[in-house]
Amino acid sequence: MESPRDILKRHGLRPKHSWGQNFLGDADALQSIADALELRAGEPVVELGPGLGHLTRFLAATGAQVTAVERDRDMVAVLEKEAIPGVRVVSGNAATVDFAQVAGVPEIALVGNLPYHLTSSILFQVLAQRAHISRAVFTLQKEVVVRLAAEPGNRDYGLLTVLLGLHFDVEEVLTLEAWRFHPPPKVDSAVVRLTRLASPRAPLVDEARFTRLVKAGFAQRRKTLINSLKSDKGLAKPDVLLAALQTAGVDPGRRAETLSPAEFAAIERALGPVTAMAPPPPDAPEPDSDPDADDAS
């Protein structure tokens, strides 16, 4: 298999650091990623950020129908020139694209080596579009995968852990050391598999309110749950929040990182019917990565 360095040289290109381009050309790792997706012949799969097409070739070798979504025009040109059999190349932004629509089918499998700086945006898109995604396999910064797969009570447990955990089984598949990429990033990566559940782990009254509740819970991690929730003054009045915690059987003195997705869902249900809520406070999103770390793509 031709290395990323050689393909770039053949096309007169260099990795774009500002785009988070770190290309994976390790055949064993690429095969493991393709295997983790468990594709069937003829099954539609959307690859986000295919880059030079290394993983794309392994996906196509399964007989799946591959739609490769790439926003870098140089990479689109490379993929079109490489003309990998069974692959359709689409120019688009992975953070905004409608995954199933771009493939022209109602449900897809999803895979990609995601730029670190777009990780949260894409994962929130996965949540929003989950009805059309049977499963997803992503290469992410190692510490992000650890966070997504964390259990309640772990310091790595956070907002996306809960939101994804309500709707998906989340599993770390393997670690990818930095040296496997060209150019190597400053941190290791890992592969995570998300498998959509047949139904959420717990019912909700309103998905948007659940998301807002969890965001409020983690907005001030060092505070008790009741004090964190009260920081979003538009969520509910303090006495209503306290009553909801009591109804859900959740100690208001606990911290958000100790609650399971089902416990957060119980609090959301206990808030009762949805009424008009004031706009939420500005987001303070969890960091995807060390600000000094290189991006990968």
Torsion sign across C-alpha atoms 202, 198, 171, 86: negative
Q: Is 217 annotated as a binding residue?
A: no
Reported as a single tens digit per residue, the pLDDT across 120-163 is: 999 999 999 999 999 999 999 999 999 999 999 999 999 999 99
Q: Is 70 annotated as a binding residue?
A: yes
Q: Is 113 annotated as a binding residue?
A: yes
How far apart (Å, rounded) are the C-alpha atoms in residues 225 and 242?
Answer: 10
How far apart (Å, rounded) are the C-alpha atoms in residues 101 and 233?
Answer: 38
Say if residue 178 is exposed, middle or buried (CB neighbours under 10 Å; 0-12, 13-18, 19+): middle
Record the pTM: 0.89
> Which residue, 208, 187, 207, 73, is CA-closest to 119?
187
Q: Could you tell me how far CA 245 lies from the centroid of its own chain?
A: 29
Residue 196: helix, strand or coil by DSSP?
Answer: strand
Reported as a single tens digit per residue, the pLDDT across 35-89 is: 999 999 999 999 999 999 999 999 999 999 999 999 999 999 999 998 899 999 9
The answer to whether the CB of 149 falls within 8 A of the CB of 187 is: no
> Which residue, 121, 127, 114, 107, is CA-closest to 33?
114
Angle of CA points 186, 188, 193, to nearest 5°:
140
The answer to whether the CB of 45 falls within 8 A of the CB of 112 is: no
Reported as a single tens digit per residue, the pLDDT across 193-252 is: 999 999 999 999 999 999 999 999 999 888 999 999 999 999 999 999 999 999 999 999
Q: Is 24 annotated as a binding residue?
A: yes
Q: Which CB contacts under 8 angstroms, 24+ apart, belong to 230-237? A: 231/281, 232/280, 232/281, 233/278, 233/281, 234/277, 234/278, 234/279, 234/280, 234/281, 235/209, 235/277, 235/280, 236/271, 236/277
Beta bridge partners of 137: 111, 193
The answer to whether the CB of 109 falls within 8 A of the CB of 37 is: yes
Where do the domains of the chain lie, and which CATH numbers do they carry?
4-196 (3.40.50.150), 207-270 (1.10.8.100)
